[in-house]
Amino acid sequence: MKRETLSEGIRKSWGWILGLGIIYVILGFIMASAPITAKFEIEVLLGFLLIIAGIITIVGSYMTGNWKSSLLVLLSGILYLVVGVMLLKKPMADILTLSIVLAVFLLLEGIFGLIYAFEMKPAPNWVWLLVSGITSVILGLMIMGEFPDSSAHVIGLLVGIYYIVNGVSMVMISITLKNR
């Protein structure tokens, strides 16, 4: 019995990946361009955006039809949900807590993205996933490097950049999978 590669397993779901990528880009622009000045709004907005992204990512992992290959996508979606709920549960938590939570989130998501990229390596344009994973790790490290001086605005901007890069990589991969 031939083992199905990750790219073969998700090829049929290219439209869902494209849609998810477009939504991520839109969410990224919302985060990066919103003139957020109060930490309450940042935490609530980030919480909702992460929960929305988590639900979309989990649904996307179901659409691949290959659980073994989409485990990292499912774990990413769960990570989004957990962090989103944490932010909504205590929206007035200290900005230091927000910095730590987001830095760890970006680092873990970047590691998942790097692993996922190398699983997709035989597919054309797999490098977009690699770029997304590297960007996420760098942004997480940037927040950690500025800790405890990371301002809420900088955090919103960096998370917005993460969503834009991740969304563009999903769009590029979905187009490649559609054309194969």
Neighbours of 113 (CB within 10 A): 25
Indicate whether 137 pLDDT > 90: yes
Encode pLDDT of 65-99 as tens digits.
Answer: 666 667 777 888 898 898 888 878 876 566 667 77
Which pLDDT does position 94 carry in this prediction? 61
Q: What is the pTM of this model?
A: 0.60
**pLDDT attached to residue 111:** 92
- Cβ-in-10-Å burial (0-12, 13-18, 19+) of 63 comes to middle
The backbone region for 125, taken as left when phi is positive above 0, alpha when psi lies in -120 to 50, beta otherwise, is: left
Number of Cβ atoms within 10 Å of the Cβ of 25: 18
Residue 67: how many other CB atoms lie within 10 Å: 11
Q: Angle between the 95-119 and 71-89 helix axes, to the nearest 10 degrees?
A: 170
Question: Is 5:122 a contact under the CB 8 Å cutoff?
Answer: yes
Judging by beta carbons within 10 Å of its beta carbon (0-12, 13-18, 19+), is residue 89 exposed, middle or buried?
Answer: exposed
Report the alpha-carbon distance of residue 111 to residue 140 in Å, rounded.
11
Share of the chain above pLDDT 70, in %: 76
**Six-digit token string for 21:** 């990528």
